[in-house]
Structure 1
Amino acid sequence: MSSRSFRVDLVENKNCICTCGKTITYHIPCPHVVSCVSVLRKSHYNYVSQYYILDNYKMTYVDQFHNILNRSTWAQHDPASGIHPLLPPNFRRRSGRPRTNHFRNTMDKGIGQSNRKWGACGIVGHNKATCHTRLVLSFKFFLSIMLFINVLFIICRIFFHNL
């Protein structure tokens, strides 16, 4: 569920504007407009742009397409007359993995931060490598080991001194 809200302005059977901007960009009603129109029990087809009406779409392709002439009528390669052959582009494949052509959209947003916490400090949202208290904790660990060795040394000294 999204926490964002959008404002929809409807003009009777002509135009619709939504703050998400998709209606202006694509000339078709966005999901926000469709849900508002359905609440009013109207058809969302009334808000589709004239570009997408079937008659206008057919008018796009009314003009005649010209066929390509037979290959025998094409001009031949002749450097004297200035007619040079059309060669493929000089292309060399780069090393490494090719780039992807993925364009990020709203579905590619990552999930929020983890609620896991690092056990040594108990702070949520980081781990051992990013902990700002790790130097303090490692120093405390060092002191506890030194204290243990010191106590062990005193016990050994008492034990061997009494022999």
Structure 2
Amino acid sequence: MSSRSFRVDLVDNKNCICTCGKTIIYHIPCPHVVSCISELRQSHYNYVSQYYSLDNYKMTYADPFHNIPDRSTWAQHDPSSGIHPLLPPNFRRRSGRPRTNRFRNTMDEGISQSNRKCGACGIVGNNKATCPTRLVLSFKFFI
């Protein structure tokens, strides 16, 4: 469970705003909005953007797709006419393992570690390295 709270504003039957920001980015209700709408016993389908409607989906693929012409009809590379060859980008790869581009979400939140007990004193909230009683005990041994 997440310990964060989010504010949900249901403006009208078509618009909703959540402080998590997912409704604005994806144009579909986030889980917080769906939870609020289900409490009101309404359908969350009313809050999905028109981008995802069946009519807009059909209009996306209504125009024909143009095939790439045969390679013999392509223009030749001629710098005098302004047609330059398409070259790969001029950069070098970094050494080592590439960095991942993973977007974290609510499932990646870890369980809070505050319920662990200290191995030396048994008190919740510290460990052996930071145990205040252990520091007192070690000081007595030096005396």
| TM-score normalised by structure 1 residue count | 0.64
| % same residue | 79
Question: What is residue 102 of structure 1 aligned with on the other side?
Answer: 102
Q: 1:83 to 1:21 in 2, by over 3 A?
A: closer
Question: Relative to 1, partners in 2 of residues 1:29 and 1:71: Cα closer, same or farther, differing over 3 Å?
Answer: same
How far apart in 2 are the matches of 1:82 and 1:36?
A: 59
Return the alpha-carbon distance in structure 2 between the equivalents of residues 25 and 84 of structure 1. 38
Structure with the higher fraction of residues in helix conformation: 1
2: CA distance, partners of 1:106 / 1:91: 36
Partner of 2:44: 44
Secondary structure class of the residue paired with 1:58: helix
Task: Give the 5 Å matches for 1:2-17.
Answer: 2=2, 4=5, 6-9=7-10, 11=12, 13-17=13-17
Q: What TM-score do you get using the length of structure 2 for normalisation?
A: 0.70
RMSD over aligned Cα atoms: 3.1
Structure 2's unaligned 5+ residue stretches are none
- Structure 2 match to 1:67: 67
Evaluate the alpha carbon distance shift between residue 117 and residue 17 of structure 1 in structure 2; reply closer, same or farther with a 3 A threshold.
same
Letter matched to residue 31 of structure 1: P
- Using the TM superposition, give the Cα deviation of residue 113 of structure 1 relative to its aligned residue in structure 2, in angstroms: 2.1
Q: Is the 8 A contact 2:2 2:109 kept in 1?
A: no
- Higher-Rg structure is 1
Per-residue CA shift, 1:13-53, capped at 9, x if unaligned? 43333444433332222333333433444332222211111
Residue of structure 2 in register with 1:116 after alignment: 117
Give yes or no for contact 2:37–2:43 (8 Å, CA) kept in 1.
yes
Structure 1 pair 6/83, CA: closer, same or farther in 2 (3 Å)? closer
Contact kept, 8 Å, 1:8 with 1:32, in 2: the verdict is: no
In the TM superposition, residue 103 of structure 1 has moved relative to its aligned partner by 1.6
* Runs of 4+ more than 4 Å apart: 78-83, 131-136
- Which residue in the other structure is 1:34 paired with? 34
- C-alpha distance in 2 between matches for 1:84 and 1:27: 41
